[in-house]
């Protein structure tokens, strides 16, 4: 609803997509996500199931 009522770009990512097999890949993906969000600003970043990122 928010994305439709603004001119912002809506970026949706599932939290499990940010978890990678090799150490350091996850943070690289997060940095890339926010780099793209900055490039397409104004933007809204929605990370669905973000709890998957913080669990072991």
Domain map (residue ranges) of the chain: 2-54
Largest Cα–Cα separation, the chain: 39
Cβ neighbour number for residue 8 with a 10 Å cutoff: 16
Q: What pLDDT score was predicted for residue 51?
A: 77
Tell me the pLDDT tens digit for each residue of 23-48. Answer: 778 788 889 999 999 999 999 999 99
pLDDT for position 16: 83
Q: State yes or no: pLDDT of 7 exceeds 70.
A: yes
Please tell me the predicted confidence (pLDDT) of residue 55. 61
Q: Give the DSSP letter of residue 15.
A: G
Share of the chain above pLDDT 90, in %: 41
Structure letter (DSSP) for residue 19: -
């Amino acid at each position: 609803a928010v994305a439709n009522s603004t001119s912002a770009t809506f970026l949706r990512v599932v939290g499990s997509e940010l978890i990678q097999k090799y150490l350091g890949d996850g943070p690289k993906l997060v940095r890339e996500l926010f780099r793209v969000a900055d490039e397409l600003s104004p933007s809204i970043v929605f990370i669905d199931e973000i709890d998957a990122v913080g669990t072991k």
